[in-house]
Amino acid sequence: MFNRLLQLYPNAISASKPIADSDYFWIKNDKNYIGIPKKDISEIEISLLHTLFPIEYRDEQFPLSSIAKEWREYLQGDGQLPSTQAKVIRFIHFSISDNRDEFLFDGWEEAVKSLFSNEVTIVPFSRSQGVIIEEQSNVCITEDELFSAIQAFESDFFFKIHFYIGRFQEIDSTLKSLFSLEQTMLKLSLSEHPEERIFTREKLMPLYLYRLIPDTEERILFADVHSLLKDDLELAETIKAYIENQSNATLTAKQLFMHRNSLQYRIDKFIEKTGIDIKSFHGAFFAYLACLHIDDI
């Protein structure tokens, strides 16, 4: 059977153990593994191979509890919603990069669980991505606490990690849709801001909405701002940073290594050139989307 698969998928590789590469789908028989490039295999074929070879690399690499398996089948497959006493939960999505081949999931799982005051369920989807399921309680982990833990994680496990902190949601029929949407937001954050470590809905919403605007409408909506600032991209970056820092001039000046008076001059210059009052909510929101458009040009 394995020889036949190698013939069907000429780019597939055979190995005595799986290689740490998320671009491959791994299956095994009693002794050997075959890695098939995900770009060469369809969802239907993956489903068929799951049936023929029920023991897959991710199960063997990450021994899961029964509840973690139930959550994974629910979130990524056709499984039923796991039974739980919790009424409200949230997903904290994680993505790991630059991890070592000998990544120790047990140690990582123990370290993550130690951050939470209540029991959490960790569901890995691959060597690089997964989700933490946290029940709502009086003491839930904060963004600052999670950020403080990142340095320790990256030092102890020698990888980079990114978190998307989802919102609390009642356990109902919309839960899976929320999970899928938050996965989309995670992918957006990784592609657009790989240098950032933690993202939330609030941080990503302007970028998410901007990406929904058709290209033709973008060019029309932001044409005047682009025309005024196309030769002064540094000004656009300054205004973008100012808005991202909640219009805090002191913090923005420090971040950009400039004098506060110089920053104020640039703010006044932007308002004068564009006619957009970025000190108002609506003006700041539109100006931020316009700066995102200029970044794309």
* Consecutive 10-residue averages of pLDDT for the chain (297 residues): 78 72 70 80 76 53 81 88 91 83 71 90 86 93 91 82 94 93 93 91 94 94 92 92 94 94 94 93 95 88
Residues 140 and 149: their CA atoms lie apart, in Å, by: 15
Q: What is the pLDDT of residue 118?
A: 87
How open is the CA angle 56-61-67, to the nearest 5 degrees? 80
Tokens of 228: 């005024």
Q: What is the pLDDT of residue 1?
A: 67
Q: What is the pLDDT of residue 60?
A: 45
Q: Within the chain, what is the greatest distance between any pair of CA atoms?
A: 72
The answer to whether domain 213-296 has CATH 1.10.10.2840 is yes
Q: What is the pLDDT of residue 182?
A: 95
Q: How many CA atoms lie within 13 A of 59 on its CB side?
A: 12
- Domain parsing of the chain, residue ranges: 2-59, 66-200, 213-296
Task: Name the β-bridge partners of 37.
Answer: 24
Q: What is the pLDDT of residue 57?
A: 44
- Listing DSSP states for the chain in one string gives -HHHHHHH-TT-EEESS--S-TTEEEEE-SS-EEEEEGGG--HHHHHHHHHH---BHHHHHS---HHHHHHHHHHHSSPPPPP-S-SEEEEEEEEEES--TT--HHHHHHHHHTT-SS--EEEESSSSEEEEEEE--SS---HHHHHHHHHHHHHHH-SEEEEEE---EESSTTHHHHHHHHHHHHHHHHHH-TT--EEEHHHHHHHHHHHHS-HHHHHHHTHHHHHHHTT-HHHHHHHHHHHHTTT-HHHHHHHHT--HHHHHHHHHHHHHHH---TTSHHHHHHHHHHHHHHHH-
Whether this model's pTM surpasses 0.85: no
Q: What is the pLDDT of residue 33?
A: 77
Class of domain 66-200: alpha beta
